Structure 1
Amino acid sequence: MIQKTFEILHEPAPLFRLVLEVGEMQLVVTTQNEENTPGKNFEFFSFGKKDNFENVLNEIREQSSLLDKKYQQVKIVWSNSLAQCVPSAVFSEEIAEAVYQNLKNGLTDNKNLLCKNSSITLPYLVNRHQFEVLASHFIDAEYTHKYLEIINHFENFSSSEKTVILVVFYQGHFIICAKQNNQLQFINSLDFSSGTDAVYHILNAVKQLNAEISETRVILSGLIDGDSPLFNEIYKYVPIIDVDAAQNALFLNSDFSEYPSHYFVPFFKYV
């Protein structure tokens, strides 16, 4: 069953670029103008894992106030854990094939996709049925993966701490990305069911990097409340915490003030 979890529509949407973030159980709709500045519009739809995606998308189109318009460009951001970073300097077709085989790990009915920037190439898998449905609705869409969108912004983040960990929360999982000495170390998606789970994964990441939590900056965004048990548990063990902000969407503090602005950072900054 389709549920529109959030809808915020503050002004006519820019008609340059439609952005869809497609997750395992959610689809987020935003818009951008020619300068990649997001419009003051946001729709978040939830659906079941076993729902037929063609029916899901048709229902979303019926409910959406943004999908009934024509856009010059469409960008589809896949948000799943079936992706792996490879340094572009050593990337090859043989490495790509090995990565795809490792990601499949017994999975079937997937489509191989790839996106990259100047330093990272990211082979990833998506559900073939979902891809075909989206391709039939948005013929000339550009495809990318959430990991690369996060990396593109996080690569340029500077901090006085040599170890920085970015944690982007969704419902039931989060994306964790780590830098050390201004070099990307890893990015991954992890499930969690409690604050204890989240703290364990953060501390484990710090341990893997041979760093000290007292000298590590942790940046939080997404679906986490400042007074929630999840945040309080993290605060117990992580002394240096920042709440992420989307500098390209400063209107979040005013026009979207009914919700904490960091809720929307993953969908306005990292796309």
Structure 2
Amino acid sequence: MQPAFAVDDASLLETDLTTCHLLVLVGQGTFSYVVFDPAGGKFLALKSYNFQPQKLAVADLEMIERVFDADKLLFTAFKSVLLAFDASVSTLVPENQYSPQLKKDFLHMVYPEKLQEAVLADVLPPPMSLVNVYAVDKDLLGFLRKEFSTDRVVHAHSALLQAYPYDFDFRNHDGVAYIMAQRNRFTITIYAAGKLLNQQELPYQSGLDIVYHLVNAVRVLGLDEQKVKVKLGGPLAKDSDIYQELHKFVPHLEWVQRLPEFQYIGKMQEMPGYYFHNLYALALCV
């Protein structure tokens, strides 16, 4: 199996990888990772694999097993490995109302219980005072924990919530909506004056679907879609259907940029910064 994206340079061979972190992001039909050197705050390598998402999680697991067979870098003795899941089943709970014993109850108030699910929770750092409760496939989680010998697990949305405050427009009083588009689904996170108002993941088939959900969410929150800034991220072409449709209806549309406090090798800087924003954001969870 060949990666859809593979980026590194000579610095990877010159670095003691036992001092680096491996940040892994697993989504529906995707398996991506970056090698992060905390001493220099620098990303040294990135790979991303795409495959057709399956209805049965066991089929996704088989594809990821094929990635392991093909990519020997994954067996390097890194300082630590962080597993992140871009799972659609998640909900945010105020920390002062959260109880670990009730995490399944919080999740299943919103989503039906599934077979073979493992329910996890991320306590988000101050000042958010939130807990992200989510479910992942138990077999997939067990496989990755065993292969990487790690118990460090987060949800992709938890990383995004830590990344967005670094954006210059985060405290925009008219509101800012961040859209992270993936294959057939997207995450929308809306703030006004630095206050989190909404985060949800929704399916889509066309760019117009995203426009509809965006405008509806903004109006429900009492914001004006003609004034809200929209920041778009994901593996998208600049002339993609999503960008074109949003551009028709949203006056203030921009691409999400790389997190400014980190360093990136030259080949990463040649790629659009919005491509792997959710993957780079995992460095904030180390």
Secondary structure class of the residue paired with 2:90: coil
Higher relative contact order (CA 8 A, sep 6+): 2
Checking the alignment, whether the CA contact within 8 Å between 1:217 and 1:241 is kept in structure 2 is yes
Gaps of 5+ in 2: none
Counterpart residue number, 1:90: 97
Q: 2: CA distance between counterparts of 1:35 and 1:227? A: 38
Q: 2: CA distance between counterparts of 1:90 and 1:25? A: 34
Checking the alignment, whether the CA contact within 8 Å between 2:189 and 2:198 is kept in structure 1 is yes
Q: 2: CA distance between counterparts of 1:109 and 1:224? A: 32
Q: What's the offset of the Cα at 1:232?
A: 1.3
Q: Which deviations, in whole Å up to 9, do the C-alpha atoms of 1:103-136 show, x marking residues without a partner? A: 5514211011111123111111000110111121
Supply the RMSD in Å over aligned alpha carbons. Answer: 2.3
Checking the alignment, whether the CA contact within 8 Å between 2:159 and 2:278 is kept in structure 1 is no
Counterpart residue number, 2:273: 261
Q: 2: CA distance between counterparts of 1:113 and 1:36? A: 31
Q: 1: CA distance between counterparts of 2:230 and 2:282? A: 17
How many pairs align? 269
The answer on 1:44 being equivalent to 2:48 is yes
Q: 2: CA distance between counterparts of 1:18 and 1:265? A: 16
Q: 2: CA distance between counterparts of 1:102 and 1:138? A: 33
Counterpart residue number, 1:110: 117
Closer/same/farther in 2, CA of residues 31 and 237 from structure 1, 3 Å limit? same
Q: 2: CA distance between counterparts of 1:35 and 1:186? A: 35
Q: Which deviations, in whole Å up to 9, do the C-alpha atoms of 1:13-68 show, x marking residues without a partner? A: 76211111011211101111125834231111123424545533332123225313
Aligned sequence identity (%): 18
The residue identity in structure 1 corresponding to 2:115 is T
Q: What's the offset of the Cα at 1:250?
A: 5.4
Q: What's the offset of the Cα at 1:223?
A: 1.8
Normalized against structure 2, the TM-score is what?
Answer: 0.85
Map 1:189-268 onto structure 2 (within 5 A): 189-246=201-258, 247-249=260-262, 251=264, 254-256=266-268, 259-268=271-280
Checking the alignment, whether the CA contact within 8 Å between 2:8 and 2:267 is kept in structure 1 is no
Secondary structure class of the residue paired with 1:85: strand
Q: 2: CA distance between counterparts of 1:228 and 1:241? A: 14
Checking the alignment, whether the CA contact within 8 Å between 1:82 and 1:124 is kept in structure 2 is yes
Matching residue within 28, 32, 46 for 1:28 = 32
Q: Which deviations, in whole Å up to 9, do the C-alpha atoms of 1:189-215 show, x marking residues without a partner? A: 111111111111111111111111122
Counterpart residue number, 1:132: 142
Q: 1: CA distance between counterparts of 2:109 and 2:172? A: 36
Q: 1: CA distance between counterparts of 2:261 and 2:276? A: 12
Checking the alignment, whether the CA contact within 8 Å between 2:40 and 2:263 is kept in structure 1 is no
Gaps of 5+ in 1: none
Q: 1: CA distance between counterparts of 2:222 and 2:93? A: 22
Q: 1: CA distance between counterparts of 2:157 and 2:150? A: 22
Q: What's the offset of the Cα at 1:148?
A: 0.8
Checking the alignment, whether the CA contact within 8 Å between 1:28 and 1:43 is kept in structure 2 is yes
Normalized against structure 1, the TM-score is what?
Answer: 0.89
Closer/same/farther in 2, CA of residues 104 and 204 from structure 1, 3 Å limit? closer
